[in-house]
Chains A and B, each alone.
Chain A
């Protein structure tokens, strides 16, 4: 009921005036609904069904119902917990760092105007246009033990005495991939936050200036509150896309060494397409789906309260 009232006050009045009994306008959603039902609805339902079965393609046997067997197995599967932890570290670590860097850059470049701003912005956005697989190989090349530019520079500066095996070290591999990920993701935050900064009404900034707000107080008390909803929304988008990130990790380490960079995507992919264990892979998919939905609901609710 409350939503109906809320909607009426904003958009529905316009929408109602516009609709004026043209029913086929409503039916224009039909193609989308049908396609989504086939390519998403059906697979999701099928995943639920598969998750309750033992089904390995290599056995040449049809799926066999085993109830919650896969889920019970999952609870005691250390690799599942490792990948869950890696996914959380990878996602939240990358998103937090790149959003803060993007915010800092947006604030730093705010005072630039004209061609200077346009060219600096275009240059800072470049990494966004680099395909994920290329990001992965590029950083993999720069991380090389022999001939990698990162080791060479660090050696020259005297920061390390011998080349570091960035991607072969189970402690360094995940952070090393995250650096590549942050490199690729920062432009997104920079662009969106720049736009949000530009949208702050000039009067607000002027009056703060008249009140002699210092630089820091200007940023934290005046500007940040305006950016809050933007930060929330853009972070959510990137959290989702990072949960799904397969290309960078797979092309850099394939989840290794050991399981140190195995995220849920990588684990499910391996289970399904290296072991062809579709039943168990589906169960992990379902658990993950539930976790993600809970997270999204909580996040959206929190965001709406604060917006």
Chain B
């Protein structure tokens, strides 16, 4: 009987709405609330601490809201012995350069891998995927010696070379999935209209993959921003350090007890990444998933 009545609603009709409050719903919303707390509490804690005085930041009974909110920690970043602004600029320049270079080199390759037919296509696709899996640290010693011989150690250019080892394979692999998603008919239509191939690439394909370019670039930027091992290894002059490496290197000194200052520095390190991340959040799922399946 019940199965008969259940079969009656049509497919377009919305699922039966349960009235009142069921236990399942309460549990569900509690779980979501808990997840939100888990995700946001540490970030809140970072922000709150960055406005606390040094003394308040390490109280045995921590205060939820800064009692005497102060901007001193942020002001301190600009005016102290350590050139935080320089670290910030170093990070931005090296990560941005890596992102741009990786996308510019990777996009033609991704296009060729997606569209053209040549004997080595499978092999190149596979190697790109394998390169993506290489442990960075395996290449650390030879890369160090390579940069040493090229006199690129302790320079942002050398750092960009290092970042390229993971940025480029990633960019190829992600761009390929964005290009795969562009219907080939669009290009064929343009060819029928008599446009030369290079114009089709510039005027038809490029605008269509622009979101993909931005997303891929942002991801490479984020990976580079997150990277610690290369700047720590390749940079020897403190003024040339990137922000994350500078945080680690200065921790033992300046920030040993100054957690307020540390959290202010952390906030400054986080903001650019957060802006970049939320700017491309929507289109990144496609680049991450379809590429992975196609690449495998």
What is the interface of chain A, defined by CB distance below 8 A to chain B?
3, 7, 12, 14-19, 22, 25-33, 35-36, 39-40, 42-44, 46-47, 50, 104-105, 108-109, 120, 122-134, 137-139, 141-142, 144, 146-149, 152, 183, 186-187, 191-192, 195-196, 202-203, 206, 209-210, 212, 215, 229-230, 233-234, 236-237, 240, 243-244, 246-247, 250-251, 264-265, 268-269, 272-273, 278, 281-282, 285-286, 288-289, 292-293, 296, 300, 303-304, 307
Taking a contact as CB atoms under 8 Å apart, the answer to whether B57 and A32 are in contact is no
Given the complex of chains A and B, what is the CA–CA distance between A269 and B139 in angstroms?
11
A131 to B278, CA, bound (A): 14
Among A39, A133, A202, the residue within 8 A (CB) of B269 is A133
B28-59 vs A, CB cutoff 8 Å, 1 = contact: the mask equals: 10011001101110110110010000000111
Is the beta-carbon distance between A282 and B168 smaller than 8 angstroms? Answer: no
Cα distance A200–B246 in the bound complex, in angstroms: 46
Q: Contact partner of A36 among B122, B131, B162, CB < 8 A? A: B131
Contact: B117 with A15, CB < 8 Å? yes
Q: Are A124 and B36 in contact (CB under 8 A)?
A: yes
Question: A264 — which chain B residues lie within 8 A by C-beta?
Answer: 135, 137
Closest Cβ–Cβ distance, residue B6 to chain A (whole Å): 6
**Cβ of B46 and Cβ of A138 under 8 Å apart?**
yes
Task: Tell me, yes or no, whether B259 is within 8 Å of chain A by CB.
Answer: yes
Question: Which B positions have Cβ atoms within 8 angstroms of A?
Answer: 2-3, 6-7, 11, 15, 24, 28, 31-32, 35-36, 38-40, 42-43, 45-46, 49, 57-62, 105-106, 108-109, 111-113, 115-118, 122, 124, 127-128, 130-146, 161-162, 164-165, 168-169, 172, 184, 187-188, 197, 222, 225-229, 232-233, 244-245, 247-248, 251, 259, 262-263, 266, 269-270, 273-274, 276-278, 281, 284-285, 288-289, 292-293, 296
CA–CA, A196 and B289, complex, Å: 9
Instruction: Please list 7 pairs of residues, one from A and one from B, whose beta carbons are closer than 8 Å in the complex, sorted by A's number.
Output: A29-B108, A32-B128, A105-B32, A134-B269, A192-B288, A210-B7, A236-B296
Residues A47 and B62 in contact in the complex (CB < 8 Å), given A26-B112, A137-B247, A141-B263: no
A131 engages B296 (CB within 8 Å): no
Is the beta-carbon distance between B11 and A206 smaller than 8 angstroms? yes
| 19 other A-B residue contacts (CB within 8 Å) besides A18-B115, A130-B43, A196-B289 | A29-B113, A31-B109, A39-B143, A46-B142, A47-B139, A120-B36, A124-B36, A129-B277, A138-B45, A141-B259, A183-B39, A191-B284, A209-B15, A233-B296, A243-B135, A251-B228, A269-B229, A273-B233, A286-B138
Would you call A285 and B138 a contact (CB within 8 A)?
yes
Residue of B nearest to A249 (CB): B228
Contacts of B289 in A (CB 8 A): 192, 195-196, 230, 233-234
B169 contacts A36, C-beta separation under 8 Å? yes
**Is there an interface contact between A131 and B39, defined as CB atoms closer than 8 Å?**
no
Q: How far is the CB of B247 from chain A (nearest CB, A)?
A: 5
* Complexed CA–CA distance, A47 and B134 (Å): 12
Nearest neighbor of B233 in chain A, beta-carbon distance? A273
Q: Is B32 touching A120 in the complex (CB atoms < 8 A)?
A: yes
Which of the listed residues B141, B162, B296 has the most CB atoms from chain A within 10 Å of its own CB? B141
Taking a contact as CB atoms closer than 8 A, the residue among B3, B142, B227, B259 that contacts A42 in the complex is B142
Q: Which residues of B contact A300 (CB under 8 A)?
A: 296
Distance of A245 from chain B, by nearest CB (Å): 10
CB closest chain-A residue, reference B11: A206
Check if A39 sits within 8 Å of B229, measured CB to CB.
no
Q: By the criterion CB–CB under 8 Å, are A22 and B141 in contact? A: no
Complex alpha-carbon distance, A214 and B7, angstroms: 16
CA distance A272 to B140 in the complex (A): 8
A272's nearest neighbour on chain B, judged by CB, is B141
Asked if B141 and A146 sit within 8 Å, CB to CB, the answer is no
Report the nearest B residue to A183, measured CB to CB. B42
Q: How far is the CA of A264 from the CA of B133 in the complex (A)?
A: 15
Interface contact A32-B172, CB-CB below 8 Å = yes
Q: Are B111 and A28 in contact (CB under 8 A)?
A: yes
A75–B122 alpha-carbon span in the complex (Å): 36
Q: Give the Cβ gap from B164 to chain A, nearest Cβ, in Å.
A: 5
Separation of A50 and B222 alpha carbons in the complex (Å): 32
Which of A18, A47, A132, A303 has a CB less than 8 Å from the CB of B116? A18
A234-B168 in contact given A25-B116, A109-B32, A212-B3 (Cβ < 8 Å): no
User: Given known contacts A183-B42, A293-B133, is B59 in contact with A278 (CB within 8 Å)?
Assistant: no
Question: Which chain B residue has the least Cβ–Cβ distance from A46?
Answer: B142
With beta carbons under 8 angstroms apart, the residue of B15, B143, B278 that contacts A43 is: B143
A residues within 8 A CB of B28? 108
* Closest A residue, CB atoms, query B138: A285
- Min CB distance A63 to B, Å, is 10
| Bound Cα distance A284, B225 (Å) | 27
**Complex formed: what's the CA distance from A292 to B46 in Å?**
36
Contacts of A307 in B (CB 8 A): 293
Cβ A31 vs Cβ B273 within 8 A: no
Report Cα–Cα, A237/B123, bound state, in Å: 20
In the assembled complex, which residues on chain A have CB atoms less than 8 Å from the CB atom of B245? 133
B135 touches A32 (CB 8 A): no
Interface pair A288/B135, CB less than 8 Å apart:
yes
Are A192 and B285 closer than 8 Å at their CB atoms?
yes
Q: With A and B bound together, what is the CA distance between A139 and B262 in angstroms?
A: 12
